[in-house]
């Protein structure tokens, strides 16, 4: 596979393979929860949604860090996982979170050391690490968290046909936003920005040219909605 094909496959594959249960990531190994003892009280709880819940992405962002990362499956009430109004450095339209009364989105809560927070933050130029307060996030273990951190999109939420768009790959109950897969949302963005281009050429061009991706993002931001 040539470099252009790899870029296209990476973009289309977002948000990648996400486990259906809680787990612990140790380097490139994905283990069952409880396989490694971790004091969660000494960690920062972070909502992991989109590709930050995918082991292959965590392994890349935390490369070289020896500490385990517990990720507990959770339900985030009155929120949904939607698309951000930007093109990522690798050509995908990545995720954001948006308030959605009555919805319950399935996310993960990662418990991170300070060093791990810094490593992930360095890989998130399009997001701002922010506290979320007065929320309801129920862990798979039964515990509920009312305050935790999350990466919020600096660009707002993508709008298509007058509404934010949820990630079809993310499970949610009571969802009110229409949902699209990554290929579908990329086709929508291509149709909006460059309808004359093939999808593969559109993706590859954005992944290869940061300035082009920035200009495309500026257009998407014009109709974006902020976190409510």
Instruction: Convert the pLDDT of each residue in 60-109 to its tens digit.
Output: 999 989 999 999 999 999 999 999 999 999 999 999 999 999 999 999 99
> Which sequence spans correspond to the domains of the chain?
3-221
Return the pLDDT at 5. 83
Q: Tally Cβ neighbours within 10 Å of residue 28.
A: 12
Q: What is the largest CA-CA distance in the chain?
A: 54
Return the pLDDT at 34. 87
Coil, helix or strand at residue 19: coil
pLDDT exceeds cutoff 80 at 2:
no
> Topology of domain 3-221, per CATH?
Hypothetical upf0131 protein ytfp (3.10.490)
Instruction: Convert the pLDDT of each residue in 16-47 to its tens digit.
Output: 999 999 999 999 999 999 899 999 998 999 99
Cis peptide before 96 (omega within 30 of 0): no
pLDDT exceeds cutoff 50 at 52:
yes
Return the pLDDT at 192. 96
DSSP annotation of 178 reads -
Return the pLDDT at 134. 95
Instruction: Convert the pLDDT of each residue in 132-176 to its tens digit.
Output: 999 999 999 999 999 999 999 999 999 999 999 999 999 999 999
pLDDT exceeds cutoff 50 at 1:
no
* Cβ–Cβ under 8 Å, residues 100 and 177: yes
Return the pLDDT at 228. 85
Coil, helix or strand at residue 158: coil
Q: How far apart are CA 67 and CA 181, in angstroms?
A: 33
Strands 69-83 and 23-26: antiparallel
* Cβ–Cβ under 8 Å, residues 98 and 80: yes
Helix, strand, coil percent content, the chain, rounded in steps of 5:
30, 35, 35
Return the pLDDT at 4. 62
Give residue 48's pLDDT band: very low, low, confident or very high (50, 70, 90). Answer: very high
DSSP annotation of 111 reads E
Q: How far apart are CA 82 and CA 185, in angstroms?
A: 11
pLDDT exceeds cutoff 90 at 8:
yes
Q: How far apart are CA 105 and CA 148, in angstroms?
A: 15
Nearest to 109 by CA among 27, 45, 18, 42: 45
What letters, b where the CB count within 10 A reaches 16 and e where it falls short, cover 35-67?
eeebeeeebebbbbbbbbbbbebbbebbeebee
């Amino acid at each position: 596979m040539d470099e252009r094909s790899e870029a296209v496959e990476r973009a289309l594959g977002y948000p990648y393979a996400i486990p259906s249960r809680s787990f612990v990531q140790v380097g490139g190994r994905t283990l069952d929860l409880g396989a490694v003892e971790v004091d969660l009280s000494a960690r920062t709880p972070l909502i992991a949604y989109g590709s930050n819940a995918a082991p292959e992405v965590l392994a890349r962002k935390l490369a070289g860090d020896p500490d385990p990362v517990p990720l507990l499956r959770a339900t985030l009430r009155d929120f949904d996982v939607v698309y951000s109004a930007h093109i990522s450095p690798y050509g995908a339209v990545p995720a954001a979170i948006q308030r959605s009364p009555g919805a319950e989105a399935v996310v993960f809560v990662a418990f991170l050391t300070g060093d791990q927070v810094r490593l992930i933050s360095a890989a998130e130029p399009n997001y701002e690490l922010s506290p979320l307060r007065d929320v309801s996030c129920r862990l798979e273990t039964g515990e509920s968290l009312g305050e935790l951190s999350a990466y919020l999109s600096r660009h707002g939420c993508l709008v298509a046909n007058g509404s934010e768009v949820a990630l079809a790959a993310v499970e949610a109950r009571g969802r009110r936003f229409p949902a699209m897969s990554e290929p579908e949302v990329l086709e929508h963005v291509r149709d909006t920005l460059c309808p004359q281009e093939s999808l593969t050429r559109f993706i590859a061009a954005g992944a290869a040219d940061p300035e082009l991706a920035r200009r495309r993002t500026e257009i998407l931001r014009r109709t974006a909605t902020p976190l409510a």
